[in-house]
Amino acid sequence: MKMKMGLLWVLLVVTVMVLNHSSPCSAWFGFGNRHNKASRNSVLPAQPSIIKRSSHGSSIVIPLYGNVYPVGFYNVTLRIGQPPRSYFLDVDTGSDLTWLQCDAPCTHCSETPHPLYKPSNDFVACKDPLCASLQPSDDYECENPDQCDYQIDYADQYSTLGALVNDVYLLNFTNDVQLKVRMALGCGYDQTFSPSYHPLDGILGLGRGKTSLVSQLNGQGLVQNIVGHCLSSQGGGYVFFGNVYGSFRVSWTPMSPTDSKHYSAGPAELAFGGKKSGAGTLTALFDTGSSYTYFNSKAYKTFISWLKKELHKVPLDVAADDQTLPICWRGKKPFQSIREVKRYFKPLALTFSNGGKVKTLFEIPLEGYLILSNMGNVCLGILNGSEVGLGDLNIIGDISMQDKVMVFDNEKHLIGWAHADCTRPPRSRAFSISSY
């Protein structure tokens, strides 16, 4: 689920559907000998059995680049194809499919940092389980049995059209093994762009579905079905696959049993400055596809009312001329750091009940909901989700996950976090996750 603000994407709901019979994808992929059985044979020999034996100790750590502001997103560099070529991918824990803007040829593609991806001729079949996971229903029809067509539509009028292919990812594991791993990805050859789109080569899908990269790696026995990230407020950080933490004491809360698609934990109670907000319980979804955090209308209005009371007698004025975010404040002179307003703003917290057991606290310091604009003002990085079509859903975005290790354990169905210096990725070969 991608939701960017300003120069960024504002992606609300991902809907996947089967392409209709007029699809240009089927016209291009449907001719020639691209669908013969030989073309879909594995392009790599079977992986060594040692990887199967060491799967629970294997992990992958990949550096992140970017920031919440002014870049507006975090991305990784992955090497894909034969020969491997580098691509910049926006990291999204709110969606499953990893895809690249693709020269198939491309009907509509944006400017990209690298040449468009040249697709392999190893197509995922229409009735393959990976393809089925991308369709809106189990009884979908196949225009071409040898080809998996998909369409992803976003609520900000952004969309991508493509076909699913298998290709090689060149990956470095923490046990000093480098492997060429063959996995599925989307060849996106027809995109409709929103005005806020920021050029990248594609999207790295880290959700819970079958096409997610962590699901595919786990399916090959390479890593445990655990994915996570550490976003630095200084910029950069890292994303990881597998079990990688021993030096952090992680606070855990169960994944929501009613949402099998997202990293959702709930219900939670919102507190301002250590006091209950009175906004009721919130269902919270952790999503790196969103630069900022979104509250539902009731929680947002309660939060804004609280802020107005807190700021009533402080030397801050609303900076209406600063369009960085909907609400910004200026001081007597431009601020140089968020720390300068620490005495005016109090921390927030989400308290997860964990089904009546010991409560788990997710703290959001003022750095987790304020940014410093290029005009030297402080701006509120919590937005009204109901105004952009989210209904009662609440999104915990990048801004509120900074300087925390976030762990999404799909095997135990747990979400965990711990304070961390995200500028220092783990280097040890022996990792384990500890908890309270």
Burial 87-109 (b: 16+ CB within 10 A, else e): bbbbbbbbbbbbbbbbebebeeb
Among 297, 250, 293, 278, which residue's Cα sits nearest to residue 406?
A: 250
Tokens 């000093």 -> residue: 176
Catalytic amino acids? 92, 287
Sign of the dihedral through C-alpha 216, 219, 222, 226: positive
Question: Side chain identity at 264, as an amino acid letter?
Answer: S
How far is it, in rounded angstroms, from Cα 322 to Cα 356? 44
Sign of the dihedral through C-alpha 2, 133, 113, 87: positive
Token pair of 184 as six digits: 């599925």
3 state SS of 124: coil
Question: Could you give phi then psi for residue 26, rounded to 5 degrees?
Answer: -65, -35
SS (H, E, C) 331-352: CCCCCCCHHHHCCCCCCEEEEE
Q: In the chain, count H helices and then E strands.
A: 6, 26
